Amino acid sequence: MPGHPATLLRDVFGFDAFRPGQEEIVEAVSGGENVLAIMPTGGGKSLCYQLPALLRDGVTVVISPLIALMRDQVRALRAAGVEAGALTSGNTEEETAAVWDALSEGRLKLLYIAPERLAAGSAMGMLRRIGVSLIAVDEAHCVSQWGHDFRPDYLRIGELRRALGVPLAAFTATADAETRDEIVQKLFDGTPPVSFLHGFDRPNIHLAFAPKDGPRRQIMEFASARKGQCGIVYCGTRAKTETLARALGEGGHNAVAYHGGMEPDARRHVEHRFNTEDELIVVATVAFGMGVDKPDIRWVAHADLPKSIEAYYQEIGRAGRDGAPAETLTLFGPDDIRLRRSQIDEGLAPPERRMADHARLNALLGLAEAQQCRRATLLQYFGETETVCGNCDLCDTPPQLFDGTEAVRKALSAILRTGEYFGTQHVIDVLLGNPTEKIRARGHDGLPTFGVGRDLPRPEWQGIFRQMMGLDLVRPDPERHGALRMTEAARPVLRGEEGVTLRRDTLKSKSRRPAPRA
């Protein structure tokens, strides 16, 4: 199953971007290097051998100490259409027979085996016959005699590698130097493999998010404050790249649009200009980035919320590769949330994958609405720890928090009283006691919640509703034109069992402009 890593990532695994570290590791492993990769738990190690297994001829043998985990992975791979099988003590006879059939017909791409299997004399002969092209070792620290996870059978892996003469990729979350040395001795006979040990933090990149409040003006201001520096503005649609590039141009910037709908020649021309000119702003869709290798991109702005936290990390990561200070700004609003949710709901992915996509979107929204250090929140998601970075908007200006429990309960009850049938603006009208035509026609002016939110102005309510979406307390229902529905997570709040802390929005124009009506 040949293909391009980014294509396989999307089509087989259903992910839109690599997590930090994955791309480099995938490249080295598929290129046939011996590799040692240290990644935090939950960081996404398995993809780093599963994807290369698809790119390489023959079978990839995966050795893992955890039978349940092997079975999960095999199940997930098969569901994604990849031929994978496991030989473990937990197998039924039929399962084992099916694995052998697939092996003898040369269909199997990944063979998971428990380390105990290596002790059986027959295993080595079998592995020699089946055309193994790569050995992947999960939880590689189990080879360390001094660690508490020591597995004597892991000591046979080095022998297996020598016997098969194929590359080996070892993965672990245990990063201390002694364990690493022991892994290199025992699995690689002391010859240092290509190692990936670095953390994922990019401390020179300043992180910032802002709720949309005149997004074009916000991007213009951000770009103007960095005039003469080279930057990228990512947009959610092709059309927007063109209008925004034009607006920036009219504002005296050197800006061009870039998107997948342009002719290849025109795209190459923009890439070339970007790589060679000093002051260019490229306003692009996510199609821009692959061919870009410019170390001194000083800023990246998102005019729309990215697709996932992985995509966010990858896109801002294009800034400041030279290590010098770089800045980012990501705009987001309720429309982004609505769009991203409906893209997931209307996609063709199977239900479990859609659930995972919603969860990943929640993580990104959690980052957007974070109440303390942005970087700590981001790194936590990728399994690393950080306390306070001093280089993000929330470290610069800690947000004003308030107890939003009462407001959220009022909002939830207004949503329920109106039958979970209306969008944000109508529900806010109910809360504000606004006797609009729609309100009167529906008799919503007679509801007990009518007017209970008069203590807060409309923009404040808008911020509260956006945060409720961000916290996944309510979701727009794609089958009811985005009408808000309460989620399970909101029940304890409604029942008074849980509180909600919210951030006060600091929208610049709050007092200057009447709020837009939907």
Measured from the CB of residue 12, what is the shortest distance to ligand ADP in angstroms? 12
Look at residue 155 and give the partner it binds from Zn ion, ligand ADP, none, a contact being a CB closer than 5 to 8 Å depending on partner kind. Answer: none
- Please give the DSSP secondary-structure letter assigned to residue 390: S
Does residue 310 belong to the site contacting ligand ADP (CB under 6 A)? Answer: yes
Tell me if residue 366 falls in helix, strand or coil. Answer: helix
What is the helix, strand, coil percentage profile of the chain, to 5?
A: 45, 15, 40
Does residue 42 belong to the site contacting ligand ADP (CB under 6 A)? Answer: yes
| Residue 392 backbone phi and psi in degrees, to 5 | -145, 165
Rounded CA-CA distance 430/484 in Å is 14
> Of 277, 304, 95, 274, which Cα lies nearest the Cα of 211?
304
Q: Is-contact 222 183, C-beta < 8 A?
A: no
User: How many Cβ atoms from other residues are within 10 Å of residue 436's Cβ?
Assistant: 16
Question: Which of these ranges, 53-61, 100-108, 285-293, 385-393, lies near Zn ion under the rule CB under 5 A?
Answer: 385-393
Rounded CA-CA distance 22/47 in Å is 8
CB of 133 or CB of 371, closer to Zn ion: 371
CB of 373 or CB of 500, closer to Zn ion: 373
Measured from the CB of residue 47, what is the shortest distance to ligand ADP in angstroms? 5
| Residue 317 backbone phi and psi in degrees, to 5 | -65, -10
Question: Which of these ranges, 25-33, 91-99, 382-390, 405-413, lies near Zn ion under the rule CB under 5 A?
Answer: 382-390
Residue type, 313: Y
Look at residue 461 and give the partner it binds from ligand ADP, Zn ion, none, a contact being a CB closer than 5 to 8 Å depending on partner kind. Answer: none
Total residues binding ligand ADP (CB under 6 A) = 13
Total residues binding Zn ion (CB under 5 A) = 5
Does residue 213 belong to the site contacting ligand ADP (CB under 6 A)? Answer: no
Look at residue 337 and give the partner it binds from Zn ion, ligand ADP, none, a contact being a CB closer than 5 to 8 Å depending on partner kind. Answer: none
Question: Which of these ranges, 38-46, 251-259, 366-374, 403-411, lies near Zn ion under the rule CB under 5 A?
Answer: 366-374
CA distances (Å), 74 to each of 47, 69, 85, in order?
A: 13, 9, 6
Tell me if residue 461 falls in helix, strand or coil. Answer: helix
Question: Which of these ranges, 383-391, 417-425, 478-486, 492-500, lies near Zn ion under the rule CB under 5 A?
Answer: 383-391
511 by Cβ neighbours in 10 Å (0-12 / 13-18 / 19+) ranks as: exposed
Look at residue 184 and give the partner it binds from ligand ADP, Zn ion, none, a contact being a CB closer than 5 to 8 Å depending on partner kind. Answer: none
Does residue 316 belong to the site contacting Zn ion (CB under 5 A)? Answer: no
Does residue 317 belong to the site contacting ligand ADP (CB under 6 A)? Answer: no
Binding mask 237-256 for ligand ADP (x = CB under 6 A): --------------------
List the beta bridge partners of residue 135: 61, 168
Sign of CA dihedral 369, 371, 375, 377: negative
Look at residue 375 and give the partner it binds from Zn ion, ligand ADP, none, a contact being a CB closer than 5 to 8 Å depending on partner kind. Answer: Zn ion
CB of 173 or CB of 515, closer to ligand ADP: 173
Does residue 315 belong to the site contacting ligand ADP (CB under 6 A)? Answer: no
Q: Which residues, 4 to 23, sit near ligand ADP by CB under 6 A?
A: 15, 18-19, 22
Could you tell me where the DSSP H helices lie in 319-476? Answer: 334-346, 351-368, 374-381, 393-396, 405-417, 424-432, 437-442, 458-470
Q: Which positions ≥6 away from 433 have C-beta within 8 Å?
A: 445, 450, 451, 452, 453, 454
Go through the chain and tell me how many residues it has. Answer: 518
**Residue in 74, 170, 389, 469 binding Zn ion, rule: CB under 5 A:** 389
**Residue in 46, 88, 172, 285 binding ligand ADP, rule: CB under 6 A:** 46
Look at residue 310 and give the partner it binds from ligand ADP, Zn ion, none, a contact being a CB closer than 5 to 8 Å depending on partner kind. Answer: ligand ADP
Does residue 172 belong to the site contacting ligand ADP (CB under 6 A)? Answer: no
Measured from the CB of residue 348, what is the shortest distance to ligand ADP in angstroms? 18
CB of 22 or CB of 88, closer to ligand ADP: 22
**Residue in 28, 29, 39, 51 binding ligand ADP, rule: CB under 6 A:** 39
**Residue in 69, 126, 292, 395 binding Zn ion, rule: CB under 5 A:** 395
Does residue 419 belong to the site contacting ligand ADP (CB under 6 A)? Answer: no
CB of 30 or CB of 413, closer to ligand ADP: 30
257 by Cβ neighbours in 10 Å (0-12 / 13-18 / 19+) ranks as: buried
- DSSP track, 175-226: --HHHHHHHHHHHHTT-PPEEE---S--TTEEB-EEE-SSHHHHHHHHHHTT
**Residue in 36, 47, 170, 220 binding ligand ADP, rule: CB under 6 A:** 47
**Residue in 8, 21, 34, 43 binding ligand ADP, rule: CB under 6 A:** 43
| Residue 183 backbone phi and psi in degrees, to 5 | -60, -45
Residues near Zn ion, by CB under 5 A: 373, 375, 389, 392, 395
Residues near ligand ADP, by CB under 6 A: 15, 18-19, 22, 39, 41-47, 310
